[in-house]
Amino acid sequence: MTLSETQLQFAVRADGVHLAYRHQPGQGPTLVFLPGYMSDMQGSKAIALSAWAAERGLGMLRLDYSGCGESEGAFEDGTLNIWRDDVLTVVAEMVDGPLILIGSSMGGWLMLLVAEALGDQVKAMVGIAAAPDFTDWDFDEADRGAIASAGRIERPSDYGYEPMVITQRFWQSGQANLRLTRAVAIDCPVRLIHGQRDPDVPWETSVRLAAALRSSDVQTILVKDGDHRLSRDQDIALLIDTVTKLAC
């Protein structure tokens, strides 16, 4: 199967919202890619990983959270809980076997919540500049005050997006889902890749996450000259090598 043959499909949420996804069946655990905040399944890492998986006959699932990419809904209605449940809805419709979760930035936070919900179905996880708890460590008192008074804040994006909107509902969902403040009850193998020149998510976040995870099979892979996106050829090669060792 080639990437072009992976057809766009939709899962229907309980409230009627259509969630876009692309699924390629294959052998072994199904790879599930979880995009970052204001991102979607057409990012360079997701596309490269999907093409690699198709060449090797591995199963892969890419998806868009509600309000993102080709899914229905309004982005500003999204919260961590809603997007976690979006992932669970699509997974339940398409995959009943083992999974490897691959989460980029905010997707690295969501992968923790999804893994907690799915338990033993998740066989391994890979974080790419994982950003758990960013509503806590990335918000100062001025940000909290602005969210409380205006119900939202906007931040400029360095990645070609419209200004990054963060609503009070999203922020509250983040504060209700903090994971770096306690042990994270996940026991599967975990690999955390992080660039040490990441201007958005400090690389120490992955070190903190590694310490919080209950699993003893956790490795933190630091890329000295890596940025937040980790989308260079060598970064994608590292990602594929990391996933290969977990999937095969």
Look at residue 176 and give its three-state secondary structure.
helix
| CB-count exposure of residue 148 (10 Å: 0-12, 13-18, 19+) | exposed
CB 18 within 8 A of CB 72: yes
138 is catalytic: no
Instruction: Give the H or E element holding residue 207.
Output: helix 204-212
d(CA 225, CA 41): 25
User: Catalytic residue among 71, 173, 206, 228, which?
Assistant: 228
Active site residue 23: no
| Candidates 64, 198, 206, 235; catalytic one | 198
Q: How far apart are the first and last CA of the chain?
A: 19
| Host H or E run for residue 117 | helix 106-118
186 CB-near residues (< 8 Å, 6+ apart): 112, 115, 116, 122, 125, 213, 214, 215
Q: Is 228 a catalytic residue?
A: yes
CA distance 55 to 68: 27
105, 173, 206, 235: the catalytic one is 105
Question: What distance in Å separates the CA atoms of residue 124 and residue 191, rounded to the nearest whole number?
Answer: 8
**Which residues are catalytically annotated?**
105, 198, 228
